[in-house]
Amino acid sequence: MSVRAILPGATVGVLGSGQLGRMFAIAARRMGYRVHTFSPDRNSPTGQLADREIVAAYEDLDAVRAFAREVDVVTFEFENVAHAATLAAAEHAPVRPDGLVLHTTQHRLREKSFLTRVGVPVARHRAIDSLATLRAAVAELGTPAVLKTAGWGYDGKGQVRIAAPEQCEAAWQSLGGAEAVLEAFVDFAGEVSMVVARGSDGTVVDWGLIANEHRDHILDVSTAPAEVAPATLAQARDIARTIVEALELVGVLCVEFFALHDGSLLVNELAPRPHNSGHLTFDAAITSQFEQQLRAVCGLPLGSTALVRPAAMANLLGDLWQHGEPDWAAALRADTVKLHLYGKGDPRPGRKMGHLTALGDGAAQARATVLQARAALQRRD
């Protein structure tokens, strides 16, 4: 069913205040919307660009209600918001995607059960709630395996690799005894993702497959389009459509895949919002993932997802500041390189501070350019 459009001049509320919200706010303000952001942080990446920054805990449901009363629609950029908060927001404004989508995707077991129910392939896994179930699951699935907390995990946080059965006890203790899932280790050929959007009228579009390289479990470099067989792209599209239709998603969602050696795909995880691997759409696509999120949640027609040129993105982590301020001018010497900084004050190691995007005549060239630009940031004095 189509909904009444929320038009420029209206106010969009964003739960969360990080870089995803910042880029969303840039897209929204460009199109004449007002933006309010809600999170526990002050002077946040999103707040710096929003019309209003509301600082309160997600558990403060009265504050969430007050925030929702002031906006025309609520969306989010951070998925670890408790279900109670999205329900409180929904008392006063439409929440898109629906809070139930968050509820499913913020918990690895609920997410895997959902994927299995709709016929989407995932890695072999078992639910774990004690050391005994962990030992039994390791005996069944074999090693190596990966133990992950069921809730609130991202960027490899809350996960530990089990190389041999004797490591069960230490692994279980390191996760603090929280409800968890054990996954068989996937010997993948590569990792790819698909960012997909679904409009309020049910239209589904995607930006093709993006190739992702991780370092220390954190996304490092993304390249688009990914070099894959047509059958792999078709499988990804089919899976992405199945997921957003089953979730009745209105908004943007990223499907992260393991690409196996035979060209087939397993879903690793879902994020019901724009994703780090889709940042390159900001500079390389006719419509970025952020503008598309805005169009979807406001009930507007979706824009073209065509890439204007092949592109690559490299993340800039706090580690780059180790020897002082990076050499921004050096990175910008290649004239297709775009710099994005998130306005975060404290460059801690591992913290996502910004990214570079480069466009190229081909994906490999774009990747080489962005890596060269990032290398040039480090002063050698």
Q: Does 146 bind ligand AMP (CB under 6 A)?
A: yes
Beta carbon nearer to ligand AMP, 131 or 218: 218
CA–CA dist 63, 142 (Å, integer): 47
Binds ligand AMP (CB under 6 A): choice among 98, 111, 191, 291: 191
Upper half-sphere CA count for residue 202 (Cβ side, 13 Å): 5
Question: How does DSSP classify residue 96?
Answer: S
Q: Does 268 bind ligand AMP (CB under 6 A)?
A: yes
The whole-angstrom distance between residue 1's C-alpha and the CA centroid of its chain comes to: 27
- For the four alpha carbons of 223, 332, 216 and 206, in that order, the dihedral sign comes to negative
Interface with ligand AMP in residues 110-139 (CB under 6 A): 123
Q: How many CB atoms lie within 10 A of CB 184?
A: 18
* CB distance 208 to 226 below 8 Å: yes
* CB distance 109 to 133 below 8 Å: no
Q: Does 269 bind ligand AMP (CB under 6 A)?
A: yes
Which residue is it, tokens 């004239």?
Answer: 335
Which residues sit opposite 147 in a β-bridge? 160, 182
Beta carbon nearer to ligand AMP, 220 or 327: 220
Beta carbon nearer to ligand AMP, 192 or 337: 192
The whole-angstrom distance between residue 68's C-alpha and the CA centroid of its chain comes to: 23
Q: Does 378 bind ligand AMP (CB under 6 A)?
A: no
Q: List the x/- string, 151-170, binding to ligand AMP by CB under 6 A.
A: --x--x--------------
Binds ligand AMP (CB under 6 A): choice among 30, 69, 83, 217: 217
Residue among 20, 80, 79 at smallest CA distance from 50: 20
Q: Does 206 bind ligand AMP (CB under 6 A)?
A: no
Beta carbon nearer to ligand AMP, 261 or 380: 261
Q: Does 185 bind ligand AMP (CB under 6 A)?
A: yes
Q: Does 186 bind ligand AMP (CB under 6 A)?
A: yes
Q: Can you list the alpha helix ranges (DSSP code H) found in 260-361? A: 281-284, 289-297, 328-331
* 96-104, 145-153, 333-341, 356-364 -> range binding ligand AMP (CB under 6 A): 145-153
Q: Does 79 bind ligand AMP (CB under 6 A)?
A: no
Residues near ligand AMP (CB under 6 A) are: 123, 146, 148, 153, 156, 183, 185-186, 191, 214, 217, 256, 268-269
